[in-house]
Amino acid sequence: MYNPTQDFAEINRANVAQATKFAALSLDNAEKLMKFQLGTARNVFAQSVENANAVAGIKDVQELIELRSKLAEAQMQTAMGYSRNLYELASEVQAEYSALAEESFGVYSKGVAAFVDKASKSAPAGSDAAVNAFKSSLAATTAAFDQFQKATKQVASLADANVRAAAATATKVVKGAKKA
């Protein structure tokens, strides 16, 4: 007689391994984000000190006007750079989580498929229809997940292209305003 306990234990071990990978990935990405934010805070602080020194050195109204436009442009460039870098970091993180989700689903599907195959070999006579129905639903679920992953990748690619186009347009606008 077939004892499914070992197969369930194996599936659970695989799930724990995947959960551990997810936790490690989450910590790694939180660390990346914190480093990025801290670096940004340092840069903004340094710029603020430079700006304060520049304002303190103003001698007339004309210098004030020139400095004001120079600082506005620098702040816009800083904001755009921050947004672009944050977007790239988020895109990288999203790709890592997607890859982990695909891997996890693959490991889970293989484990369940192996369990069903073993269980079907020791199933009582006349249960072929139920076993085949379960296998069919497992195959349909796998196919649906694959389609979902493809659609998600297409949407992410389209969104990425749109964000990059918007960033390029904003950069051109800032450069155009600088020349004007």
Which tens digit of pLDDT belongs to each residue from 77-134? 999 999 999 999 999 999 999 899 889 888 888 888 888 788 778 777 777 888 788 7
Contact in structure between 134 and 34 (CB atoms under 8 Å): no
Q: What pLDDT, in 10s, does the model give residues 16-53? A: 999 999 999 999 999 999 999 999 999 999 999 999 99
Rg of the Cα trace of the chain? 28
CB of 76 closer than 8 Å to CB of 174: yes
pLDDT at 179 over 70: no
Token pair 């460039």 is found at 77
Q: How far is CA 174 from CA 69, 75, 132, 161, 171, in A?
A: 12, 11, 62, 20, 5
Query: Is 60 exceeded by the pLDDT of residue 180?
Result: no
Does the predicted model carry a pTM greater than 0.75? no
